[in-house]
Amino acid sequence: MTAAEIIDELKRLGNAQYKATMLRHGCQEPIYGVKIEELKKYQKRIKQDYQLALDLYETGVSDAMYLAGMIADDEAMTKKDLQRWVTQANSPLICGSTVASVAAGNPHGSELALEWIDSKQSSIACTGWNTLGLIVAITPDEELDLPEIKRLLNRVKQTIHQQPDRVPYCMNSFVIAVGGYISSLFDLAMQTAKEIGRVEVDMGDTDCKVPSAPDYLTKIKTMGRIGKKRKSAKC
């Protein structure tokens, strides 16, 4: 299938109510409101297609951009591809899910994420923090730079309440990821979470709230899931 053919199909699959919900959560026009369950049918059929993913992302249609991340060949993406994707990302969903999940599975992901968190553009900074959190979630501890992660936790503690827009939300999520996926850093992540305290972020016209990192980490520990890695950065 070509990107143009998929776009034509996505238009017909659009759901007005779902579209309205996604717009409230920060998605931008053009968007058709195609439910994730429908996009997963394409993912199951296509599996991976590097060029098709690039073509879909270039359409600028939110549904197609999300699908692009689902079928992208993460390891084949170049640094230039990822830089273009992060600069073109136009919503929290595309930044935090699509681009971050693809970058986390890419050899250049960690390097780029550390650059992105320094960006003055909040959407790019958010993508960086989300990418780092996903890398922590899927990478064996022995392959992680634990001293670097400790420095990042300290950076979060020192700067989270001075960050703009949704960046604090993503930094808070990073703390949860570190504590949840790296057993040796659970105590440090919990200490960081407690020192951070309550994180306030304007989530727009939604019921979404910033999770309490201490409460979330306690729940993970109670469930006996500390250190249990994800198989993939993609949902």
Domain total of the chain = 2
Residues 107 and 46 in one domain: no
Give kind and range of the element (H or E) at residue 186: helix 186-196
Residue 204 pLDDT exceeds 80: no
Q: pLDDT: is 49 or 207 the higher one? A: 49
- Reading phi first (left if > 0) and then psi (alpha if -120 to 50, else beta), residue 2 is in beta
Residue 125 pLDDT exceeds 90: yes
* Res 23: pLDDT: 95
Residues 138 and 223 in one domain: yes
Average pLDDT, the chain: 96
How many beta carbons lie within 10 A of that of residue 84, not counting itself? 15
Q: What angle do CA 137, 54, 165 make, to 5 degrees?
A: 55
- Is 80 a domain residue? no
Contacts of residue 5, defined as CB under 8 A and 6 or more positions apart, other chains included, come to: none
d(C-alpha 35, C-alpha 63), whole Å: 9
Per-residue pLDDT of 158-200, as tens digits, reads 999 999 999 999 999 999 999 999 999 999 999 999 999 999 9
Residues 68 and 147 in one domain: no
* Res 203: pLDDT: 82
Residues 33 and 125 in one domain: no
Contacts of residue 91, defined as CB under 8 A and 6 or more positions apart, other chains included, come to: 25, 26, 27, 28, 62
Per-residue pLDDT of 92-111, as tens digits, reads 999 989 999 999 999 999 99
- Is 179 a domain residue? yes
- Is 192 a domain residue? yes
SS3 36: helix
d(C-alpha 156, C-alpha 158), whole Å: 5
From 57, 72, 87, the end of a domain falls on 72
Residue with tokens 């692009």: 68
Q: Which amino acid is at 32?
A: Y
- Is 81 a domain residue? no
Residues 219 and 110 in one domain: yes
Residues 129 and 169 in one domain: yes
Residues 118 and 232 in one domain: yes
- Is 1 a domain residue? yes
Backbone phi and psi for residue 204, each to the nearest 5 degrees, phi listed first = 70, -155
Residues 65 and 109 in one domain: no
* Res 206: pLDDT: 76
Residues 48 and 132 in one domain: no
Residues 107 and 68 in one domain: no
Per-residue pLDDT of 2-24, as tens digits, reads 999 999 999 999 999 999 999 99
Share of the chain above pLDDT 70, in %: 100
Residue ranges making up the domain that contains 46: 1-72
Region 116-128: mean pLDDT is: 97
